[in-house]
Structure 1
Amino acid sequence: MSQPPGDAASAIAEAVARRSYGKLVALLAMRTRDVAAAEDALADAFAAALADWPERGCPANPEAWLMTVARRRAIDGARHRRVGDDVTNQLAILADEIDEREAGALPDRRLALLFACTHPALEAAIRTPLMLQVVLGLEAKTIASAFLMSPAAMSKRLVRAKHKIREAGIPFSVPEREELPGRLAAVLEAVYAAYAEGWTDPAGCDSGRRDLTGEALFLAHLLVELLPDEPETLGLLALMLYAQARCDARRDAAGDYVPLSAQDPAIWNAPMIDAADALLRRANTFDAIERFQLEAALQSAHVHRCRTRRPNWDEIVQLYDALFAIAASPVVAVNRALAVAERDGPQPALDALQPYADDPRLADYQPYWAARADLLARVGATAEALGAYDLAIGLERDPAVRRFLQRRRAEVWRS
């Protein structure tokens, strides 16, 4: 004699509960970060199953049915709770809604959330920092470093932005595909900033930053697949691949830092460089030259010089001039000055840096002090060079780079 439908439904629900309850709660809690809320949502899903399955029949995959219903309950619960960081809550809800649709204009949930942070009501300057904090999980002090700001100033900027989002009721939603090109710039900047933060851990000792590098490369590849005719997506991926190709050459067998000028090009990842070359060539076929294409072109020029051992500093200075014209920043000025030093000598390079001597954005920027120390040493200003090296050493987080700077300082002191 067969069981009544209600009894059969109860038996299946009980079997699923015994077998999979813990796994389903864990999966839900990964999204909600709230075990109690996950358990409540799953309890609602089991109750719904007992009401639905006797009438409509048991689904082919009971676990998947329960997970879908529980996830919807969790989304509804999050909408009503509205506790903690309002922006983070909104994005968590949107993330689950993206999963519910299981399809859309964007192929990856995290990429969709990045584009969701580009709402036109948000000022352009805050979009990338907001993405880095609430989507990619970087701390305010790390974001501040990327933007040459103090941690306190960046924290205040993020708090103000979140307050505006809450007070103005700015909604987060995934833009339609035709809207993506107009919102692309901030997303590219966020992906590159995430990659650059991971790049500061070349030895791979920090698992978080190592994962960040891999995730940024993954997102850059997705952007190229999504927007293959946008030259800046091609330029960004090319730039990152040129850098990543040199990763293994940045440390010697003893773990000591090896600057680009001393690296062995034979150690570089040649297929990765070839892929970057192809991307850059494709980007150059479009009638637009922007920041990431120029930065990729600079990396390509450095690769060519190191491989051929033929100086091309005039070309590199010209590329920096073009980059500075469209993306002026103290960082570009510092890198340009180093290229000028190779072409024209250290004094013209110091002259080029003079307008930035009192720029507060460079006060804690280690590469500026390292560059200044090297240039001062080359013109014979030993005391000033030693002081600049002291600042650079104190600001450097990477022990291998710190040891490198200490050796350079010792050489200047002995000379």
Structure 2
Amino acid sequence: MTRETDESAARAAAETAARRSYGKLIAYLAARSRDVAAAEDALAEAFAAALADWPKNGIPSNPEAWLLTAARRRAIDAARRKQSAALGEGHLSLMAEEMEQAASEPEAIPDRRLALMFACAHPAIDPGVRAPLILQCVLGFDAEAIGSAFLVAPATMGQRLVRAKTKIRAAGIPFRVPERDALAPRLEAVLDAIYAVFTEGWSDPTGADLRRRELSSEAAWLGRLVTQLLPDQAEALGLLALMLHAEARRAARRDAEGDYVPLAEQAIALWDQATIAEADALLRRAQALGTIGRYQLEAAVQSAHAARRHLGRSDWPAIVMLYDGLLALTASPVVAVNRAVALAEVQGPAAGLAALDAIGDAPRIADYQPYWAARAALLGRRGDREGADNAYALAIGLESDPALRAFLQKQRAALGAL
């Protein structure tokens, strides 16, 4: 095997380990010291060491254990250099022994990701940064990706994340799942982070990108874990129902040529009926608990779309009502765009366009592709070719998915047939 091949194989092995174990290793490294930033630095150095060592000495049989050992050594060395009063020599020795045992017995490495997520959702952490912090700590997302997901400038998001990690260390926030009476208040941030993980994976509709597909599976796993932990929390049930409804339609999102297929044109036969049934059962359990929240309403929207199996069409009046409730809860421009599209199905394109006009000045809406795609489609339905063409041009320029961009280009080209 050539050195180039060795390096390529080592890099692939490191990427696989990062994809599968990043959050698990960060959670384990930081659980005792409560220094998330130091754990991230140590793990980054361990990955760098792996890329230097593995091409020469071979990929270890257990990359996760190798990385934990390397990161553990770097974390302890860094702590000793700082001579931290909070980490005395005895504490460091105990930490070393624990990690040495975990590295030698891979099955002994406990999965503390959920505990890390609830630590990031501690009341001492600013509410607006809890979900972004979970994404960075558990999945290694950078500030640019997180800022994009939460519509915040990357530099601003980076500063917020640094402050939050400093707070965890300074306040000595414990890495554990809190007692039940302290659990529910942190739940919103945890659910928001899980859903952000899912949507990141969902952005790869064909599942061709292994990392993104694994993110969807990871989010569903975390969602199930939370529902087991909190079986009487309606929003946890609602989130899992929402993710399952979306996952049930994955096979229908692209045709045989890989082209984008909008929801209204998807082949119902390709939908996973068992998964839809499970999602609806979860939603009924949530509704029986007597509280309403964002994720339940969003799951109910997806259930109303799935009604096409029986009605031959989506239940648009119900969808409008659900979006009315969502908008009242969230005041989200994303929800407002979806509501405008649904309203157009019930009252016509003029009503939908009026609803879009009402949010045209919302922050960052000018960079939100679905706003322009919705506007283009409704202008086209109303017969305004020039307006639709301009809106399609903006939507196409903002879209990064080649298949969706091709779909928008076809819709734009079809304006000539009006």
| TM-score, reference length from structure 1 | 0.75
Q: Distance in 2 between matches of 1:328 and 1:237?
A: 22
Matched residue SS, 2:139: coil
Alignment match of 2:194 (pick from 186, 191, 194): 191
Q: 1:345 to 1:26 in 2, by over 3 A?
A: closer
Deviation of 1:380 (Å): 2.1
Q: Distance in 2 between matches of 1:113 and 1:134?
A: 8
Q: Distance in 1 between matches of 2:136 and 2:81?
A: 20
Alignment match of 2:117 (pick from 95, 114, 117): 114
Deviation of 1:136 (Å): 1.8
Q: Indicate conservation of the 8 Å contact 1:220/1:233, yes or no.
A: yes
Q: Distance in 2 between matches of 1:80 and 1:376?
A: 66
Alignment match of 1:388 (pick from 384, 391, 400): 391
| TM-score, reference length from structure 2 | 0.75
| Aligned residue pairs, count | 344
Identity of aligned residues (%): 55
Deviation of 1:212 (Å): 0.7
Question: What amino acid is the match of 2:336?
Answer: A
Q: Distance in 1 between matches of 2:81 and 2:207?
A: 36
Cα offsets for 1:25-75 (capped at 9, x unmatched): 95544236538649xxxxxxxxxxxxxxxxxxxxxxxxxxxxxxxxxx799
**Aligned match of 1:6:** none
Deviation of 1:398 (Å): 1.2
Alignment match of 1:374 (pick from 372, 377, 383): 377
Q: Distance in 2 between matches of 1:202 and 1:189?
A: 21
Cα offsets for 1:257-281 (capped at 9, x unmatched): 1100001111110110111111011
Q: Distance in 2 between matches of 1:386 and 1:283?
A: 43
1:267 partnered with 2:270: yes
Deviation of 1:256 (Å): 0.5
Q: Indicate conservation of the 8 Å contact 1:373/1:385, yes or no.
A: yes
Q: Indicate conservation of the 8 Å contact 1:195/1:216, yes or no.
A: yes
**Aligned match of 1:176:** 179
**Aligned match of 1:30:** 67
Alignment match of 1:243 (pick from 216, 223, 246): 246
Q: Where do residues 10-409 of structure 1 align in structure 2 (5 Å cutoff)?
A: 27-31=64-68, 34=71, 37=74, 108-165=111-168, 173-310=176-313, 312-409=315-412
Cα offsets for 1:334-386 (capped at 9, x unmatched): 00000000000111111111122122321221111111111111222222211
Higher deviation after alignment, 229-238 or 108-117: 108-117
Cα offsets for 1:167-217 (capped at 9, x unmatched): 666565542344222211100010001101110001122222111111001
Higher deviation after alignment, 116-125 or 302-311: 302-311
Q: Distance in 2 between matches of 1:192 and 1:405?
A: 26
Question: What amino acid is the match of 1:374?
Answer: A
Cα offsets for 1:92-146 (capped at 9, x unmatched): 99x969x79x9xxxx9421121111011111111100111112122222222222
Q: Distance in 1 between matches of 2:206 and 2:61?
A: 37
Q: Distance in 2 between matches of 1:212 and 1:247?
A: 14
Structure 1 vs Structure 2 CA RMSD = 3.1
Q: Distance in 1 between matches of 2:177 and 2:231?
A: 19
Matched residue SS, 1:217: helix
Q: 1:212 to 1:27 in 2, by over 3 A?
A: closer
Deviation of 1:308 (Å): 2.0
Matched residue SS, 1:135: helix
Cα offsets for 1:295-342 (capped at 9, x unmatched): 111110010035421452211111111111112200000000000000
Deviation of 1:152 (Å): 3.3
Matched residue SS, 1:356: coil
Q: Indicate conservation of the 8 Å contact 1:148/1:362, yes or no.
A: no
Q: Indicate conservation of the 8 Å contact 1:239/1:276, yes or no.
A: yes
Question: What amino acid is the match of 2:390?
Answer: G
Matched residue SS, 1:236: helix
Radius of gyration: which is bigger? 1
Question: What amino acid is the match of 1:251?
Answer: R
Q: 1:134 to 1:408 in 2, by over 3 A?
A: same
Q: 1:26 to 1:336 in 2, by over 3 A?
A: closer
Q: Indicate conservation of the 8 Å contact 1:149/1:361, yes or no.
A: no
Matched residue SS, 1:363: helix
Question: What amino acid is the match of 2:202?
Answer: W
Question: What amino acid is the match of 2:215?
Answer: L
Q: 1:33 to 1:410 in 2, by over 3 A?
A: farther
Query: Unpaired runs of 5+ in structure 2?
Result: 1-58, 86-94
Q: 1:36 to 1:119 in 2, by over 3 A?
A: closer
Q: 1:77 to 1:28 in 2, by over 3 A?
A: farther
Matched residue SS, 1:180: helix
Q: Indicate conservation of the 8 Å contact 1:232/1:293, yes or no.
A: yes
Q: Distance in 2 between matches of 1:78 and 1:26?
A: 27
